[in-house]
Amino acid sequence: MLSLVPLIQRTCLALLALLYGAPPSPALAAAHDPIPSGDWVVWQVVTGAVLILSLVLLGVGLVLERAGRRRAEVSLGERLRFETLLSEQVATFSRVAEADVDRAIQRALRRIADFLAVDWGNLTEYSDDSRTARVTHWWVAEGVGPQPSAIGFEEIPWVVTRLRRGELVRFSKLEELPESEASVDRQTYRRLGIKSQVAVPLTVEGVVVGALAFSTVGTERAWRDEFVQRLHLLGEVFANTLSRRRSETEGQRLRQDLAHVGRVSTMGELTASLAHELNQPLTAILSNAQAAQRILDSDPADLGEIREILGDIVEDDKRAGEVIHRLRGFLKKGTLELSTLDIGELVSQVARLVSSDAIIRNVAIRLELAPGLPPICGDRVQLQQVVLNLLMNGLDAMRESGGGERSLVLRTFSAGPASVVVAVEDSGVGIEGADLDHVFHAFYTTKPDGLGMGLAIARSIVEAHGGQLDARNNPQGGATFSFTLPAIEKEP
Amino acid sequence: MSAPPTALVFVVDDDASVRKSLARLVKAAGYEAETFASVRDFLARRPFDGPCCLVLDVRMPGLTGLDLQEALRAAGQRLSIVFITGYRDVPVSVKAMKGGAVDFLTKPVDEGTLLGAIQQAVARTLADRRQQARVTEIRNRITTLTPREAAVFALVVTGMLNKQIGSELGIAEKTVKVHRARVMEKMRAGSLAELVRLAGEGSVIAAG
C-alpha cells in the first residue's frame, strides 16, 4: 500500500500537467503520443476520470498510511508498557519475602488485569488427585459478580487437558472452542458468563501444577499475540515463587520434625557418648580387679603387681569421676540457653510428643495444668528433656503393672509465689524402698536395658535451673516424680 | 584353666589403660599377652604360627577392628577374633560375627565371659590352621599328578567305573587301571572312600 502512494502522486502530477497545458515530461509525452488528436474530448473525459480516481486513491492512501503508522506506534507503546510491567513483576517476585507472596501475586494480578482490561484474573492450583483447579489468587473487576473458588477438571476437560500438556489456551469467543470436543467447556463458560479467555500453564520442574488465566465476562475480545506470549513469562514467575514457598514450608515442617527428634534423641546421644567415655575406665577397673583376684589366688602372690594394679584402679576411677564432673559442668554453665517459658505450654508440647507412644502402650495421659502460673526462666530444650524423661519413665513403670487403669497424670501447680511444680504421677509398680534412695544416682537402674543415666541427668538439669527433683510413692500405688522451678516473680 | 598355657593373646585397643588391664587379666589366667595401640601396629607384627587369638576393639581411630578382620581374611591368615566394644551396635556385631568372629562382647567385660571366649578362639585358630594345613597338603599332592592322572582322578571320585572312564577319556580300561593305581599312590589314599574324602577336603571335585 505504501509503495503505491508515490506512484499515484507522480501519475496525478503528470495528468495535471497534461490537462492544463504545461509541457509534459518527456517520459509522459512518450507514453501519450500514440493517442490521436481527433479523440481529444474522449481523452479529456478519460483523463478527468482518471484524475478524480487518482485523487481519491491518493487521499485513501495517505489516510491509510497515517493510520497504519499510528497503530504501529500505539502498539509499540503498549508493548513497552507491558514489558515494563512484566519486568517489574519479575523484579518484585525475585526478592519477595515468603510472608508477602500472596499479597504480591494479588497485586500483580490486578495490574496485569488492569492493563489487559479484563474482568477476571486468577491463579489456580491443581489438586494432588488431579480433579479440581482451586483458585488460590484472584482479581475481579468492579461490577463483575463473584467467580467460583474452584473448578472441577470435568467442567472444563478440553481446556485442562491442553493446559496440563503445557499448552496455552486462548479464545476470543466461545465459538472458537472446538464444538464437539469442548462442548462441556463451552457450557461451563457460558454458565459462568465467560466470553473470552487466555490461560497459561504454571509449570514446576516439568509438572503442570496450575494455571494463570485472564477472562472477560460479558464481552468478547481478541487477544494480541505479543501479550499472550509474554504471559508465559509471568506464569513462570508465579510458578517459581509458589514452588519456592512450598519448599520453604516443607523445609520448615522438616525442621520442626527434626527438632522433635532432636529433643528425643539428645538425651540418648548424651548417654551413649557418656556410656562410651565411662566404659573405658570401667572396663579397665573391672579387668584390673579381676586380674588382682587371680594373682592373689596364685602362690606366691606377686604383691608388687597387685600394688601396681590398685594404683591403676584408682587412676581409672578418677578418670570416670572426671567424666561425670564434666557432664555436670556441661549442664550447669555455658550451655544453658535461657528464655522466659510458660511451663504449661512446655509440658503440653512434651505430652503431645509421647502421646502416640502412650496410645500404643494403652496408657491415658491426663494433663492437669493450673491456670495463671507465673512464667519461669530456663532452657527450653533441657527442661523438655527432663519432662520427657519423667514421662517415659512413667510409661516404662506401667509396663510391668498388670490389669487396672493405666494412667499418667502430668500436673503443674504453684508452690508459693516464687515457684512452680511439675509432677508426673504414674499408676505403675512404684519404687521399692531400697531403690528410692538411689534412683537419682548415675548408673542406677532397675530396667533391664537401662543405663541408669536418665534421672541422674534430669536431676542435674533441674538443679542447674535452681530447682529440685524428687521422687515418692503414691499412697494409692505408683510413683510421682516432681520438680520445682523458681518462677519469675510478677511485678507488684 | 584347660587352655594351652603357651597360647598368645593379642590385645588391640586404643585405650592404654584398657589395653594394660586386659593384658594383665589374660596373663593372670595363664596366657601370654601382647598389646597393640592400633590396627596398624598389629599388622606390622610378624604373623605368629603358634596357638593364639586376637582380642580386638571395634571402634578405634584410623583402621577399625572390622578393617583388621577383613585384612586378615584377605591375607589368608587364620586368627580367631574376640571383639570387644563400648557400643551395642547390632549391625556391626552382625558383620563381625558373619566375618567369623568367635564372640562380640560389650565393655566392661566380665573375666568369665572374656576368658571363655579367648579359650574358644585359641582352639578355633588351631583347628582352622590344621584344616588349612591339610588342604594345602592335599593340594600339593594333587599337583604331583600328571594331566591324564588328574583327569582319571576327577572321574573316579564321581563314582564312575574304569570302563566308563576309559570310554569317557578315549583310552583302554587297562590304561585307566594303571593311572588309577598311580593316583591312589600319589594321593596316599588307602581306599576309594578315602580318595573321595581327600577330593572333598581339597575342594577339587569340580576342578577335574
- CA dist A172 and A28 (Å) reads 52
Identify the pLDDT of residue B9.
Answer: 96
pLDDT reported for residue A8: 55
| Contact in structure between A218 and A119 (CB atoms under 8 Å) | yes
Check pLDDT > 60 for residue B70: yes
Residue-wise pLDDT tens digits, A432-462: 776 766 676 655 555 555 545 577 778 878 8
Is B24 close to A284, i.e. CB distance below 8 A? no
Predicted confidence at residue B38, as pLDDT, reads 93
Size of interface A-B (CB pairs under 8 A): 75
Interface check B29 vs A, CB under 8 A: yes
Residue of B nearest to A271 (CA): B87
Q: Give A298's contacts in chain B (Cβ within 8 Å).
A: 28
Q: Does the CA dihedral A355-A360-A361-A364 come out positive or negative?
A: positive
Is the pLDDT reported for residue A15 higher than 60? Answer: no
Of A244 and A285, more confident: A285
Reported as a pLDDT band with limits 50, 70 and 90, residue A292 is: very high
Nearest chain A residue to B57 by CA distance is A280
Q: What is the mean pLDDT of residues A283-311?
A: 92
- pTM for the model: 0.43
**Residue A36 pLDDT greater than 80, yes or no:** no
Using a CB–CB cutoff of 8 Å, tell me whether B107 touches chain A: yes
pLDDT at A110 over 80: yes
In terms of average pLDDT, the best of A266-270, A280-284, A396-400 is A280-284
pLDDT surpassing 90 at residue A5: no
Residue among A279, A292, A319 minimizing CB distance to B107 = A279
User: How many angstroms separate the CA of residue B77 from the nearest CA in chain A?
Assistant: 29
* Angle of CA points B95, B99, B103, to nearest 5°: 80
- Interface check for A280 against chain B (CB to CB < 8 A): the answer is yes
DSSP string of A219-269?
S-----HHHHHHHHHHHHHHHHHHHHHHHHHHHHHHHHHHHHHHHHHHHHH
Q: Which residue has the cell 502412650?
A: A358
Find which of B1, B15, B25 to mutate to test the A interface (most A CBs within 10 Å of its CB).
Answer: B25
| Section A14-35 average pLDDT | 47
Top-confidence range, A111-115, B189-193, B200-204: B189-193
Structure-model confidence comparison of residues B33 and A401, the more confident one = B33
Q: Which amino acid is at A120?
A: W
Residues of B in contact with A283 (CB under 8 A): 15, 18, 21-22, 84, 86, 107-109
What angle separates helix A454-464 from helix A225-297, to the nearest 10 degrees? 110
What is the average per-residue pLDDT within A159-185?
A: 90
The one-letter code for the residue type at A371 is: P
Instruction: With CB atoms and an 8 Å threshold, state whether A287 touches B109.
Output: yes
Chain A touched by B66 (CB under 8 Å): no
Residue B41 has pLDDT above 80, yes or no: yes
The reply to whether residue B107 touches residue A288, judged by beta carbons under 8 angstroms, is no
Cβ–Cβ of A284/B111 closer than 8 Å? no
Given CB atoms, is B110 within the 8 Å cutoff of chain A?
yes
Residues from chain B contacting residue A305 (CB–CB below 8 Å): 24
Grid cell at residue B100: 567369623
Tell me the residue type at A159: V
Cα torsion at A346, A364, A468, A318 (round to 10°)? -100
Distance, CA of B201 to CA of B193 (rounded, Å): 12
User: What's at A19, amino acid-wise?
Assistant: L
Residue A310 to residue A302: CA distance in whole angstroms? 13
Verify whether the Cβ–Cβ distance A286 to B108 is below 8 Å: yes
Please say if the pLDDT value at position B161 is more than 80: yes
The answer to whether the beta carbons of residues A367 and A348 sit under 8 Å apart is: yes
Using a CB–CB cutoff of 8 Å, tell me whether A306 touches chain B.
no
* Mean predicted lDDT score pLDDT of chain A: 77
Res A328 pLDDT > 70: no
For residue A488, the model assigns a pLDDT of 84
Contact B18 A298 (CB under 8 A): no
According to the model, what pLDDT value does residue B152 have?
Answer: 92
More confident residue, B149 or A226: B149
B-chain CB neighbours of A309 within 8 Å are 24
Specify the pairing of strand B52-57 against strand B32-36. Answer: unpaired
Shortest Cα distance, chain A CAs vs residue B125, angstroms: 24
Instruction: Compute the distance between CA of residue A313 and CA of residue A317 in angstroms, rounded to an integer.
Output: 6
Pairing of strands A419-426, A479-486: antiparallel
pLDDT on residue B55 = 96
pLDDT-above-90 percentage for chain B:
62
Q: Which among A286, A294, A316 is the nearest to B28, CB-wise?
A: A294
Q: How many whole angstroms from its chain centre is CA B166?
A: 38
Q: Where is mean pLDDT largest: A153-167, A270-284, A340-354, B87-101?
A: A153-167
Q: Taking residues B155-161, what's their average pLDDT?
A: 90
pLDDT at B202: 77
pLDDT at A251: 58
Among A7-11, A262-266, B113-117, B179-183, the range scoring the smallest mean pLDDT is A262-266
Nearest to A309 among B15, B24, B84 (CB): B24
More confident residue, A402 or A233: A233
Q: How far is CA A259 from CA A254, A266, A355, in A?
A: 8, 10, 17
Q: Across the strands, what pairs with A487?
A: A376
Identify the pLDDT of residue B44.
92
pLDDT at residue A250, as a whole number: 62
Cβ-Cβ contacts under 8 Å for A389 (sequence gap 6 or more): A267, A454, A455, A457, A458
